[in-house]
Amino acid sequence: MRSLCRTGDPRLLRDVALVCLADGVIGVSFGAIAVAGGMPAWLPVAMSLIVFAGAAQFSAVGMLLTGGSPLAAAATGLLLNTRTVPFSLALADSLGSGRAARLLGAHLITDETAAFALAQRDPARRRAAFWLSGLALFATWNVGVLAGSLAGNALGDTDALGLDAAYPAVLLALTLPALRDLRTRRAALTGAALALAATPFLPPGLPVLLALTGLLAAGRAS
């Protein structure tokens, strides 16, 4: 925890706060959508605590609300979360050495925590950024989901409010500084082109996994 206190980077704290704000809004949307679709209020709250994966949760709930089986919903969520496997390998040193720390750290690995941590060059700052963003996002997401679940039908159509656009917009802003590197930019553009081309033909989640092949472009350039 001392490393968290020593981080003191105002830009990091600002960025974490902005992402927490966006995640909280999306959490409210997720809780409201689940309850408005007929789920009991405790279910999205429990799912957020146990799963903690926004895209996978939205996909699973969407499948359940359209009549899909719980098994198919769970399989879809697992498929979407396979994209965090490369993050886990890259962040292994940031989780700590104890079994409890590594178990909790693995639960906190998301797109955002990976972006925050991998943006740091120094290992100590990388570890601090990971835990700071991970714990803050976990708390904010779950509070948002709880609020949305309690609000239920009162929010109305969350898509009409534009809540679905906050999450990808903030994540895009986080990745922009990394695109200054030529190899990173080449990999990102290649992956994005492949994902966009495959989106009309593949189920949700698979185009994102296909985008990882953009890393081959960076490897070939190096």
| Segments making up each domain of the chain, as ranges | 2-179, 181-222
* pLDDT above 50 for 18: yes
Confidence of residue 161 (pLDDT cuts 50, 70, 90): low
Residue type, 135: L
pLDDT for residue 5? 47
Please give the structure tokens belonging to residue 50. Answer: 């146990």
Per-residue pLDDT tens over the stretch 60-93: 887 777 776 787 777 777 777 777 777 777 887 8
Q: Where are the alpha helices (DSSP H) in 66-205?
A: 70-81, 85-90, 99-107, 111-118, 123-151, 166-175, 182-198
Place of tokens 């902005």: 18
**Which residues are CB-contacts of 37 (< 8 A; sequence separation ≥ 6)?**
61, 65
Per-residue pLDDT tens over the stretch 95-147: 877 788 888 888 888 888 888 888 888 888 888 888 999 999 999 999 999 99
Distances 11 to 16, 140, 170 between C-alpha atoms, Å: 9, 19, 15
Distances 209 to 2, 17, 163, 165, 222 between C-alpha atoms, Å: 36, 28, 25, 21, 22
159: region left, alpha or beta (phi > 0 left; psi from -120 to 50 alpha): alpha
Please give the structure tokens belonging to residue 165. Answer: 């656009």
How far apart (Å, rounded) are the C-alpha atoms in residues 207 and 191? 9
Q: What is the mean pLDDT of the chain?
A: 78
8 A C-beta contact, residue 188 and residue 53: no
* pLDDT above 90 for 194: no
8 A C-beta contact, residue 124 and residue 3: yes
pLDDT for residue 140? 94
